[in-house]
Amino acid sequence: MTVKSTCAVAALSVALGGATSVFAQDVEVLHWWTSGGEAAAVSVLKEDLEGKGTGWVDMAVAGGGGDAAMTTLRARVTAGDPPTAAQMLGMNVREWADEGYLGNLNEIAAAEGWDEVVPPAVQAFGKYEGNWVAAPVNMHRPHWVWGSAKIFDELGLEMPTNWDEFFAAADAIEAAGYTAVAQGGQAWQEATIWEAIVLSIDPNLYQSALIEADPEALGSDQMVEAFEIYRKVLGYADDGYAGRDWNLTTALVINGEAGMQIMGDWAKGEVVAAGLTPGEEILCSVVPGTQGSFLFNTDFFAMFDVGEGKQAAQQNMAQSVMSVSFQETFNLTKGSIPARTDVPQGNFDACAQKSMADLAEATAADQLYGSLAHGHGQPAAIQGAYLDVVTAFANSDQSAADAAAALVASVAAAQ
Ligand code: BGC
């Protein structure tokens, strides 16, 4: 049985916390999509829902990576006032489900065949104890390098495929008077770069140190090498580094002020929002040395158990975000690729098509890993222990060896 919205766009007005909605039912959605590209993606969702008779009450909490949104969500739930639905990353889904706050989406998942079309690695986070508790809207890939075609062409450079090429390109870009590697000084952005470097050293290091939290791997010579490479990358940041938001950092590449940025493909959403073509004006390649592997993070919408009155709207939202047409339109804007495998690829840009092909290759080779920086590696408290060490390293002159030792201690203390 397909659960359809019980309410076509309603002529009926419903009073809603002082505001008046023309929809018979509304969803209040907590999310952190506030940059230009992200907000455009939110509009796709809002319009899709409104077209099906479900109103949208926006609860946007700014802050890349979602830390501030998760703090607000906790406060709302603690106050006994959860939103209808919330954006969350993989481990958060598990934690909220474990606490018993999430509604069950099995009925709609079975009716719409989610089990058949969502990759098992994503299902592992969207399901809790065998039950669907959150709808996956995308697959993001955090280990990309974005390059200014203007600067690369001017200097006769190619996108780098190994770290030697990366540093040679960075030196040439810096010598020409541009910022070589635009970076934003926030813990999650720093961790996004660092985890990609760890993956580039050896996928087995990523698995043992970041997914399994093995102390030997955390303190290994390979980990020291990862911090050494990260120290070098940090050396190419500009003076505006401290505290800068990721989208303002992306804007430096879009505007041709910086040569490269290492960032997830939400940066591609900014490129699209700026009217540029990914793969043409803004070049993309995976972080040197990570070809063959695929880090992923998925944005889910989890439905809070807010009583029967909201269930039809929640089902409607879950059905909407999982439809083939929505996943295509939304992900074209968001920069990510669909969370279902049966969405036509033809309309996606070259970088997204590379992502889809790489995902298939990495899945077949068992080289798909959850992103630690983006909530798919460790529970929040332990993830925080990693990020503390990485940001302390990035904002000091700590040696790579001391950082690796600090990582062992910090992760052990959080366990
Ligand atoms: C989310 C993306 C978001 C990015 C920056 C990531 O953790 O998965 O959807 O665009 O953070 O805010």
| CA–CA separation, 356 and 34 (whole Å) | 26
- DSSP letters, 143-211, are -EEEEEHHHHHHHT----SSHHHHHHHHHHHHHTTSEEEE--BSHHHHHHHHHHHHHHH-HHHIIIIII
How many angstroms does the Cα of residue 176 sit away from the middle of ligand 1? 32
The one-letter amino acid code at 288 reads: P
Pocket of ligand 1 (CB under 6 A): 32, 38, 64-66, 89, 140, 246, 266, 297, 299, 374
Which ligand 1 atom minimizes the distance to the CA of 140? 8
Residue 9 has pLDDT above 70, yes or no: no
Residue 20 has pLDDT above 80, yes or no: no
Residue-wise pLDDT for 92-122, tens only, equals 999 999 999 999 999 999 999 999 999 999 9
Find where tokens 């992200």 sit: 38
Name the band, by pLDDT with cuts 50, 70 and 90, for residue 381.
Answer: very high
- Which residue's CA lies nearest to atom 5 of ligand 1? 64
Residues 271 and 209 sit within 8 Å (Cβ to Cβ): no
How many angstroms does the Cα of residue 354 sit away from the middle of ligand 1? 20
Cα separation values, 6 from 20, 29, 315, 360, Å: 20, 20, 10, 38
Find where tokens 């508790």 sit: 133
- Would you tell me how many other CB atoms lie within 10 Å of the CB of residue 185? 18
- Helices then strands, counting H and E runs in the chain, come out as 19, 15
| CA–CA separation, 267 and 271 (whole Å) | 7
Residue 32 has pLDDT above 50, yes or no: yes
Residue-wise pLDDT for 294-334, tens only, equals 999 999 999 998 888 888 899 999 999 999 999 999 999 99
DSSP 8-class letter at 323? S
Residue-wise pLDDT for 241-300, tens only, equals 999 999 999 999 999 999 999 999 999 999 999 999 999 999 999 999 999 999 999 999
- Which residue's CA lies nearest to atom 8 of ligand 1? 299
Helix (H, G, I), strand (E, B) or coil at 116: helix
CA neighbor of 343 nearest in space, from 49, 140, 117, 108: 117
Structure tokens of 33? 């999509």
Which ligand 1 atom minimizes the distance to the CA of 37? 10
**Model-level pTM?**
0.94
Which ligand 1 atom minimizes the distance to the CA of 32? 12
Residue-wise pLDDT for 116-162, tens only, equals 999 999 999 999 999 999 999 999 999 999 999 999 999 999 999 99
pLDDT for res 123: 98
Residue 8 has pLDDT above 80, yes or no: no
